[in-house]
Structure 1
Amino acid sequence: MGAFFDQDLSPVLRMADNQDLEFLVNLLQKQLTSTLGAYEAYKKHHPNHRMYADAIAAELCEFGGNSFANLYRGQGPAYQSIVCDVAAKLKVPYNKKQSAEMIEDSILRVVLEKALERMSDEEKRELLKASGGTFHFSAKGAALTAAVIALFRAGGFKSYQITVILVSAIAKAILGHGLAFGTMATITYAASIMVGPVGWALTGIWTAVDIAGPAYRVTTPAVLYVAMLRKKIAFESGKGEKECIQSDDDLIFFRKNLVRTLDKYGIFVLDPFRPFVNRSYWEEIVRKLAKCDLTPDEQRLVAIIRKQLPPLPSQEDDRERESD
């Protein structure tokens, strides 16, 4: 069986790592009608999921189409069509001319709104805290809901954190366990709320978005998961690195992650909270970390540090100083 390339789906899956793709593979193979195992790439490379990312894309799209139509086309419908179909079933406002990414975001927002309807004020506050949001201590009800939605719609790393928490809840409801998380403190702290009351409330949201029929039990969580992967890849590719530190709350999360990483590798520094303008100080920390066998999340931590450092003085600046 041959795989195919979908412009809105295949690039995302090709850029994902094996851990990222594990959920989709498990989701597809839970279905009695799954044919993923029949692909030559799967037979040759499983469990190295990255080597058959196109087969995963093809199988996912097969579930989004009618069997007879798939047979006529020779493959499933385009991913964009599946995203629109899921949006329509969930009563999410969308325009077919919008990109798949924009419609995915709309779907995530509606699912988040449904989740918030089921949560108490205290659970909403905990979700905001886990996502790095701020709120007035007296805020409650609709004000807290609006704060979470505003944080999600603002984009950036905080929006990604909310998405991770939301999709992990759905993964737990479907597979019996949440998503695997890296060591990045901002994510692991957010993920930690999944074991408490907030996690219980969020896990129950699947009953609010579950659609009758086996196809939608694949395409709905798959679209939500791909939306999360798209945000993750955008952050890792550099688009989100600068966004990671936009506020005091972001800085606090970053510092906690830094301290944890330095402790892990036995790296002693006098002041892990020194301002980034001290370029030589932070360059020394980066050099020490570069000698360690860092995880991908820890490598991104180093990349974030580098992004925050002030630029090196140019030769013209040096000449101007000498002339002074």
Structure 2
Amino acid sequence: MANTSTIARGGGDSSAPARRPPRSRRQAKASGMPAWLVPYVLLAPGLLVIAGLLLYPTIQMLIMSFQKVGLRQIRGVPADWVGGENYTQIFESEIFWSSLRNTVVFAVVTVTLTLVLGTAVGVLLNKLSKRMSTFVVVGIMSAWAVPPVAQGVIWRWLADADAGMINWALNLLPDWFSELLFGRADWTGEPWLNDAFTVYLVLIVCVVWASFPFIAVSVLAGLKGIPAELYEAARVDGSSAWRTFRKITFPLLKPVFSVLTILSVIWNFKVFSQLYVLMGGPTNREAFNLSMFSFAEAFRSPPKMGSGAAIAVVLTALLLVVTAVYVRQIVKTEEM
């Protein structure tokens, strides 16, 4: 009777074991610190490493962009504070604006081609058998694993004027077909890496070749999480492949595409190693992008590291603006 009255009053069964607090609270209590502080303490080592490797050099670069830094300062002479003079000089330079144009156009073209090709390959991989899909993934990821400098070396060999395979392959085309497509039949000795336009053609192919495997594997991982019932229902309704992709695949993979787009923009805006190897150094000013222009200003004789730092700050600001705008659009889409 007593037990019944106790339960009725909400006291519960006295013989039942007491409910234990969550594990995180028990750990916080044992360590003697508030529960809200535990995540920050755990993140502190990683944040300190990031601050040491990224934040401190970024602050130093920002300070240097307002100073005149050259050979004398490298030898220990204090740097002179010049205010915004470095920024004024680079904004008045024609090379800066041509470099900015090259950077933006290259990023737009490369990001578009990388996402389209990577998505197409990812969809194809999803339709292959497990064994064949694994084989293809290992093959394409081998290209993604090649270091940027090695990528530049490979495509520099391929585009060589005398012994490159690009000229050799184009010479294999029938003369009438080559004339129809390109207006010429003989490609012997074609100097692909001497002109700014053709340098960027080779650079685009090089970067897309090395970047699309990551996009393809990421899209494949996203496709594995889409229920097969949706595609079965679409087939029953007679939906075409393109309509199925537009109505089912793309909306469900929109978060994946958003992250891949941001990463691709960041990577392609600051491409340097491949362009440096293809050009053989900062030799052709017409083919500079902002990274190459910053390097040339900072390290080519006479070194002007303040100007190089100012260009790097402008490039960083552009990336932050592009990323912030895109992230804001993602947040708005998710809220809607």
TM-score, normalisation: structure 2: 0.26
Q: Which has the higher helix share?
A: 2
* Larger relative contact order, structure 1 or 2 (CA cutoff 8 Å, min sep 6): 2
Quick check: which has more Rg, 1 or 2? 2
